[in-house]
Homo-oligomer: A and B are copies of this chain.
Amino acid sequence: MEKNLKQPVALTGDRPTGPLHLGHYVGSLENRVRLQETHKQYIMIADVQALTDNYEHPEKVRENVLQVTYDYLAVGIDPTKSTIFIQSMIPEIAELTIFYLNLVTVNRLRRNPTVKAEIQQKGYEENVTAGFLCYPVSQAADITFIKAQIVPVGEDQLPMIEQTNEIVRAFNRIYNTNVLVEATALVPPIARLPGTDGQAKMGKSLGNALYLSDPSDVVAKKVMGMYTDPLHLKVTDPGRIEGNTVFAYLDAFDPRRDEVAELKEQYQRGGLGDVVLKKRLIDVLEAFLTPIRQRRAEYEKNKDYVVGVLKEGVDVTRAIARETMAQVKQAMKLDYF
Partner-B contacts on A (CB < 8 A): 47-48, 51-52, 55-56, 58-59, 61-62, 65, 86, 88-89, 91-92, 94-95, 97-99, 101-107, 109, 126-134, 137-138, 174-175, 307, 310-311, 329, 332-334, 336-337
Collect the chain B residues with CB atoms within 8 Å of residue A337's CB. 307, 310-311
Chain A binding site: helix, strand, loop or mixed by DSSP? helix
Assuming A101-B134, A102-B132, A105-B127, what are 14 further A-B pairs, CB within 8 angstroms? A51-B102, A55-B103, A58-B175, A61-B334, A62-B336, A65-B336, A88-B95, A91-B92, A98-B98, A98-B131, A104-B130, A105-B128, A107-B126, A307-B337
Collect the chain B residues with CB atoms within 8 Å of residue A126's CB. 105, 107
Given A88-B329, A134-B130, A174 and B101 touching (CB < 8 A)?
A: no
Collect the chain B residues with CB atoms within 8 Å of residue A99's CB. 48, 51, 55
- Closest chain-B Cβ to A314's Cβ sits at a distance in Å of 9
Complexed CA–CA distance, A58 and B330 (Å):
10
Complexed CA–CA distance, A92 and B133 (Å):
21
- The answer on a CB contact under 8 Å between A174 and B334 is no
Ordered by A's residue number, 19 sampled pairs between the chains whose C-beta atoms are within 8 Å are A48-B98, A55-B102, A58-B334, A86-B336, A88-B95, A88-B329, A91-B91, A91-B92, A91-B94, A91-B95, A101-B129, A102-B131, A104-B130, A106-B128, A107-B126, A130-B134, A134-B134, A307-B337, A311-B337
Tally of this chain's copies: 2
Given A58-B334, A336-B310, A337-B311, A106 and B94 touching (CB < 8 A)?
A: no
- The answer on a CB contact under 8 Å between A333 and B61 is yes
- Closest chain-B Cβ to A307's Cβ sits at a distance in Å of 6
Closest to A128 in B: B106
- Closest chain-B Cβ to A106's Cβ sits at a distance in Å of 5
- The answer on a CB contact under 8 Å between A174 and B95 is no
Complexed CA–CA distance, A129 and B128 (Å):
17
Collect the chain B residues with CB atoms within 8 Å of residue A62's CB. 333-334, 336
